[in-house]
Amino acid sequence: MKTSIRLALFMMFVPLVASAQYKDLDAAMSGITRGFERGETQQIIAGMTEGDQVMLQFPGIIEADGFFARDRASYMLDELFNKTKPSGFKQKSARKVSSEGQYHLTAEWTIKPSGPSEERELYVTLRNKGDRWSIVSIRSGSR
């Protein structure tokens, strides 16, 4: 009996994990900021949906770029944060494009890849799906 109760509880939470999107723009901004400021992959992955492909591009830091599923994106972000040692994230501009259901964020990202700290532009695009927001792309300007 205990096993069936545990299974039922587990099944209740499976859809929440599968949807994995930010509940609103405030949650999205908070997760993205914490993720890139502290190198917390899970804060960013929380905004990537299962089944969707997310465009990732970090020229000069990691070689792979293109469209990736959530699991692969998680590995890439871990690799990225291990190489860059992030220490700051400051939003520069944000623009909602209602006609496209998107939100475009530009930020200044402080990293320390090897040697002195450097700042890079970071561009994040979010898409609205119903009442949730998910990450479409994350790109870094080259040095």
Per-residue pLDDT of the chain (143 residues; tens, 9 = 90+): 455 554 444 444 444 444 468 989 899 999 999 999 999 999 999 999 888 899 999 998 998 899 999 999 999 999 999 999 999 999 999 999 988 899 999 999 999 988 889 999 999 999 998 889 999 999 998 76
Q: What's the pTM?
A: 0.82
Domains of the chain, each with CATH number or no CATH: 21-140 (3.10.450.50)
C-alpha distances out from residue 1 to 4, 10, 12, 43, 115, Å: 5, 14, 17, 36, 58
- Ordered alpha helix ranges (H), 23-125: 25-38, 41-45, 70-84
